[in-house]
Chain A
Amino acid sequence: GAGVSQTPSNKVTEKGKYVELRCDPISGHTALYWYRQSLGQGPEFLIYFQGTGAADDSGLPNDRFFAVRPEGSVSTLKIQRTERGDSAVYLCASSLTAHTGELFFGEGSRLTVL
């Protein structure tokens, strides 16, 4: 595809359940980012990958959140034991390299924890 693709677009789950959110970046982009956007707020940095490795995961709120990018392309954000406060839109972005600056965002995955 031409842009960043995120699935699912919407996910409703119950408190305590496990959730996986997937991101397929633009082909050839080596850097991949996860952000979280709460209603009426700006995107909040979670983690970014350069290639397969997590170069900076300082934004992950706690150890219930984990992300992988095993082959340097598709990434999965994993949330264990979901809480109501995890409800937000999770945005994925990619860039040609980490130095490029311009982020290309997907449309996000809206997570609702009941």
Chain B
Amino acid sequence: QQQVKQSPQSLIVQKGGISIINCAYENTAFDYFPWYQQFPGKGPALLIAIRPDVSEKKEGRFTISFNKSAKQFSLHIMDSQPGDSATYFCAASISGFKTIFGAGTRLFVKA
């Protein structure tokens, strides 16, 4: 079952631009929404996470926007850099248990 739907599948952004990746979820019991970054040949690594009691969380160039009523959340990467080129996964879990991942977005930042 795909409980977390992610779009787009791939994204090309110019250096310095804004990268936006969207996710939608179905299970209203989810209460933890992380984003993971994965480079080729490596395991995913936590980038930033949010809980549904806030609508936005910012860490450096990375911001999560969360819309509880729409059951949607998004990742914004400001001032995108070539080093940000990677695959990004949104995810969701209930109290940290059994994290469910989206299908991923392959981001390429053109220099």
Contacts and interface: CB of A to CB of B under 8 A. Distances in A.
A102 B98 contact: no
Interface residues of B, number: 24
A21 interface: no
Interface residues of A, number: 29
Contacts, number: 63
Interface stretch (A12-20, A64-72, A77-85, A103-111): A103-111
Interface in B23-75: 32, 34, 36, 41-46, 49
Interface of A: 4, 33, 35, 40-45, 48, 55-56, 58-59, 91, 93, 95, 97-108
Interface of B: 6, 32, 34, 36, 41-46, 49, 89, 91, 93, 95-104
